[in-house]
Amino acid sequence: MEEIPNGCSIFNSGEGFSLILFIIIKGKNTVKKYLLILFILFGVTLFAQSEQKIGYVDSQIILAQLPEAIKAQSDLDAITNLWSNQLDSMTLSYQQLLTDYQKQTATMTDEQKLAKQQELIAMEQNILGFRNQKFGQPNGEIYVKQEEIFEPVKKRIYAGIETVAKTEGMQFVFDKSGDIILLYADAAYDVTFKVLDHLKRGK
């Protein structure tokens, strides 16, 4: 949901791959990249040895159209906005106090200056602490909330993908929105809307 990066897939590379003719691996995790490549090469070898039916989905389309996912994103946005507004209020108060201090510093005693400086430092530390607590990567509360709110949605989507895959007789279903970029994929193997329809019908 950072402001949570809405463009990010909730499906990481460990949970979904893409059917491709040419591949590019995104992300900074080198170990993950090599594991992905090995998995793909292994899959291609199996595919060459025996006929396999492979499909793919675009999880971003599912997340954008599935009512539960839309509700989850709305709930997460509400929390993000609440904490962002609190942070803005704290920052505004700090800026106002700093402005007042700068205007009055010429008429203050040394003791008054020291007291005001200590107050400013305390406010600044509170702001930094709040920002890190709520939005700090990777353990900020907003990321915990994101996982908590989206976990039921993810499980339901995975179950829907599994059901459609079995119905279509597919051995593998990859995520087009994952760490692997689809440079080419035949739309005939795209089961995104079959999964979405299955989820919306609640079966």
pTM of the model: 0.70
Residues 130, 151, single domain; the answer is no
Domain carrying residue 54: 23-68+144-201
Residues 117, 158, single domain; the answer is no
Residue-wise burial string across 160-189, b where 16 or more C-beta atoms lie within 10 A, e elsewhere: bbeebbeeeebebbbbbbbbbebeebeeeb
Q: Does residue 8 form part of some domain?
A: no
- At 21 the pLDDT is 32
Q: Domain holding 194: CATH number?
A: 3.30.910.20
- With residues binned 3-state (H G I as helix, E B as strand, rest as coil), the percentages for the chain, rounded to 5, are 65, 5, 25
| Residue matched to tokens 């080198």 | 30
Q: Does residue 73 form part of some domain?
A: no
- In whole angstroms, give the CA distance from residue 173 to residue 194: 12
Largest CA distance in the chain: 86
- In whole angstroms, give the CA distance from residue 94 to residue 166: 58
Which two tokens mark 87?
Answer: 């942070």
Domain count, the chain: 2
Residues 129, 103, single domain; the answer is yes
Q: Name 173's Cβ contacts closer than 8 Å, sequence gap at least 6.
A: 16, 54, 55, 56, 57, 161, 164, 165, 191
Residues 83, 121, single domain; the answer is yes
- At 19 the pLDDT is 35
| Residue matched to tokens 């003719």 | 21
Q: Does residue 109 form part of some domain?
A: yes
Sign, CA torsion 165/167/170/171: positive
Residues 123, 83, single domain; the answer is yes
pLDDT in tens, the chain (203 residues): 444 343 334 444 333 333 333 333 444 455 454 445 445 545 555 554 556 788 889 999 999 999 999 999 999 999 999 999 999 999 999 999 999 999 999 999 999 999 999 999 999 999 999 999 999 998 999 999 999 999 999 999 999 999 999 998 988 888 888 766 665 667 888 888 889 999 988 75
| Residue matched to tokens 């299955």 | 198
Q: Cα–Cα distances in Å, from 82 out to 10, 39, 86, 118?
A: 23, 42, 6, 28
- At 40 the pLDDT is 53
- At 185 the pLDDT is 67
Q: Does residue 192 form part of some domain?
A: yes
Residues 62, 150, single domain; the answer is yes
- At 202 the pLDDT is 76
- At 15 the pLDDT is 37
| Residue matched to tokens 């803005």 | 88
Q: Does residue 9 form part of some domain?
A: no
Segment (H or E) for 173: strand 172-175
Q: Does residue 53 form part of some domain?
A: yes
Residues 39, 55, single domain; the answer is yes
